[in-house]
A and B are shown apart, each in its own frame.
Chain A
Amino acid sequence: MKILVCISNVPDTTTKIKFAEGNTLIDTTGIQWVINPWDELSLTRALELKDDAASGIKSVTVLHVGTATSEPTIRKALAIGADDAIRVNAESSDSWFVAFQIAEVVKKEQFDIIMCGIESSDYNGSVVGGMISEFLGIPSVSAVSGIRIENGQPVMTREIDGGKEVVTVPVPFVAIVQKGIAKEPRIAAMRGIMMARSKPVKLVEPVAVEPLTEIVVFEKPTPRAACKYIDADNPAQLIDLLQNEAKVI
């Protein structure tokens, strides 16, 4: 079986985001770009599965839709352990566009398990994985917090209200992955970094498709009012404020 892990290139999650050009663009000055955290966990789990010979996972490919500026993120994924990479050479305009491009690649190359993070930490869309599966007409399982291979069959744990379900769907399918899939993201070792340089990155040109959405302007959140401090010896005052001032209890 072959796994495809879709990766997004996002600002490091500790970045203080600033907007530019009349709040129509992200100010990229000084931004450290990283693999989207959920995609990094997906990649880690995919590699763990491949490490286990009994799983029958033969290869792990990463796919990214973006321009040459995201090469370092792709190389990082290869250094962590992906076998090869595909980059669709396009500026991603919206989730519809990105999902369409990924689906086009999957139609040409065979993958059994397509893993996507449940959201990207930049636009918080949470839609690309589901869209890919519908473009391809294949099953999708969302909120996947665990995946293992049992007798050649992928078995997933997904989060439901107040609990968990263990589910299977036939391959090929899209697993939309959330927290819990892997404990810690795998870190690239020196050997991996050296090897990544010679691993293949296939360049694919995009297929023309019109985006369905457009961001017209950004806004900064309104700052919260200053914190009101209460004496540690008198928490009763807090209860009074929550009851009569904030009116939340």
Chain B
Amino acid sequence: MSILVYTENWDGKFKKLSFELVSYATGIAEMLNTTVTAVSIGKVDENELRKLGNFGANKIISINNDQLIALDSQSYTSVISEITQKEGAEVIIISNNNTGKALAPRLSVRLKAGIGSGVSRLPLNLNPFTVYKKVFSGNGYAHVVLKSDVKIITLAQNSFDLVETLNNTVIENVELTIDGSSLKTAVKDVQKQTGKILLTDAEIVVSGGRGMKSPDNWGPIEELAGLLGAATACSRPVSDEGWRPIGEHTGQTGKVIAPNLYIAVGISGAIQHLAGISGSKCIVAINTDKDAPIFEAADYGIVGDAFKVLPKLIEAVKEMKS
């Protein structure tokens, strides 16, 4: 019996969510008095793998196979479900991001395991096994009982703090032979930016809305984001207009994020936008309209013209840094 964690790396470095997942799994392992096994697929060196041990992983299974470079949901499911069975894992922890959403449901069927998705706290109860998850895009939460023997939890990103737990970690490099004909996903083209902060991984996000008036006015947003080490985001009308890439759209139908700090500039705060950001630990709103709904969701607000406020804010950040 153990807790299995599926970790993710980006260009050989673990994403922050991987450490969150391992911290969370260690929390459950303590409740169940068992151990944590982390699975890593991809080219990750030993130093990096060891970092998982800082958050409580007892065992790390590392798989580096050229045939698993692109995400093929069926073959990944086979690999993870075989490890689950071999390890006798009772609970699988996986992120509630795009990769998790691709794999968790397939694993669920393969292993006849009930899923709690978008979970943001440790289990509320072990018997029956009850998880706490978001419903109605943040307008409610549900206590969900998972009735199956094997359970899958997809963890909402940035919902669980990193907890350092030093454990003796064993690294096991596993060689796999994969039948090429079982790989169904053919990748024709990849467009990937490296070196940029991932929006879903970012601890600080600076976001612009229609109040920015034109795509040419994004300079101050990018400058502020650069100074704060933040990712940039935008509201739906802005991405619909093509002012910013679709991948920046934050909201119910776009990306759902939960950074430590979300700065909304010129965003009125429609309920659908709030659904995408309500998990943020601290929300700052800058808007000319004092009645804009964004101020109801915000912790700090400035009623004022973004084009006047942003330059002063940028100066203040520069001063703080110097």
Contact = CB atoms under 8 A, between A and B. Distances in A.
Interface string A153-172: 00100111111111111100
A126 B204 CA distance: 25
A242 B141 contact: no
A190 interface: no
B190 A124 contact: no
A178 B97 CA distance: 12
B276 to A, nearest CB: 11
Nearest to A142: B102
B141 A213 contact: no
Contacts of A164: 190-192
Counting contact residues on chain B (CB < 8 A from A), the size range is 35 or more
Interface stretch (A62-70, A80-88, A232-240): A232-240
Interface string A187-224: 00000000000000000000000011111111111001
Contacts of B193: 162-163
B114 A212 contact: yes
B29 interface: no
Nearest to A13: B272
Contacts, number: 275
Interface string A76-96: 000000000000000000111
B interface SS class: mixed
A121 B137 contact: yes
A38 B15 CA distance: 27
Given A134-B109, A214-B144, A224 B299 contact: yes
A246 B280 CA distance: 12
Given A124-B133, A243-B320, 20 more contacts: A99-B109, A123-B135, A123-B136, A126-B101, A130-B103, A135-B109, A140-B73, A161-B15, A161-B192, A164-B192, A165-B191, A170-B184, A179-B249, A218-B142, A221-B278, A225-B299, A227-B300, A229-B302, A230-B300, A246-B281
